[in-house]
Amino acid sequence: MNAAPHDNQQLRELFTLPPIQASASTALAVPEMPPQETVTGDREVDAVLWLQKVVKTGHQALIDKALEARKRIKTPMKTLAVRYARHVAVKTGSTFAAAFSTFNFGELEDQAKAAIQKAARRHEALSRFGDQENLFSATPAEKACVKALHGLKRRREFGDYPKTEAATRFAKAAALTPTSISDCLHVFAYWNKLYWLRNACVDMGSDSPQQAWAHDDYCFGFLASIPPRDAREALAALEYVLDEGRDDRKEGPAILRNLVLSGWDCAALPTARL
């Protein structure tokens, strides 16, 4: 049996977000109460639209006021949603736009949970990066991935990088090559966290460059070849693959064989969620 792999500390350092600094952010002021506006001319519908804007601020005190005001609206939300959909259909001439506009309409409690979570991520993002300019600037890990694939042409049919050529280039950089299963999981967590921190500060999603996703694929392939050091590491990898729905990838069978047959002591296996 091969010696147990060690973590790649160069990789760990490269794929690490800036530490949280409570005093770093200058963009965390308490939001103002959104102004009330006449949108449809229907007082109840306009009231719901305004309350949704209040909830979207993600500020707990304003959300509490919105939820309390919601109790004074006696008309069922489904009825108000139909009235709003009619307004949108007339204004846009699109039944699709009308249907889309009423998605989650008036469900303030659910909207509040999502808004609070997004506000927390936004707070963390700005506490780590200081401001949005730094948040959306290329990180050292992104720069390293871009540098590694410089000059490599993307495939026309999919717009991604050919995996074999990309892997050869990544392998030349020690800081980009995982040496343990935990290294791979560390990289996956980094890309995921970076995406969600950025996404919390914009209305539309903000992806890393294609080179970053090529590196994610590169690391994913190592789950099929690096032997897990113990049952806990094997289980962590298995749960990641299943939770992220990546077990249907072509590497899936090889990954599962590697995690099961690598020779770790199953007596140490923690309770699984399977």
Residue 274: the pLDDT is 42
**Quick check: 226 and 178 in contact, CB under 8 A?**
yes
**Quick check: 121 and 17 in contact, CB under 8 A?**
no
The string of DSSP letters for 41-59 reads S-HHHHHHHHHHHHHHT--
Strand, helix or coil for residue 4: coil
Residue 215: the pLDDT is 97
In the chain, how many H helices and how many E strands? 13, 0
Residue 57: the pLDDT is 86
| Residue type at position 10 | Q
Residue 243: the pLDDT is 93
Instruction: State the Cα–Cα distance between residues 256 and 97, nearest whole angstrom.
Output: 44
Where in the chain are the domains?
9-17+139-268, 43-132
Per-residue pLDDT of the chain in tens (274 residues, 90 and over written 9)? 455 679 999 999 999 999 998 765 555 566 788 888 999 999 999 999 999 999 988 888 899 999 999 999 999 999 999 999 999 999 888 888 888 888 888 899 999 999 999 888 999 999 999 998 999 999 999 999 999 999 999 887 667 899 999 999 999 999 999 999 999 999 999 999 999 999 988 866 567 899 999 999 999 999 999 999 999 999 999 999 999 999 889 999 999 999 988 766 555 555 544 4
Residue 208: the pLDDT is 85
Residue 29: the pLDDT is 61
Q: pTM of this prediction? A: 0.80
Instruction: State the Cα–Cα distance between residues 38 and 80, nearest whole angstrom.
Output: 15
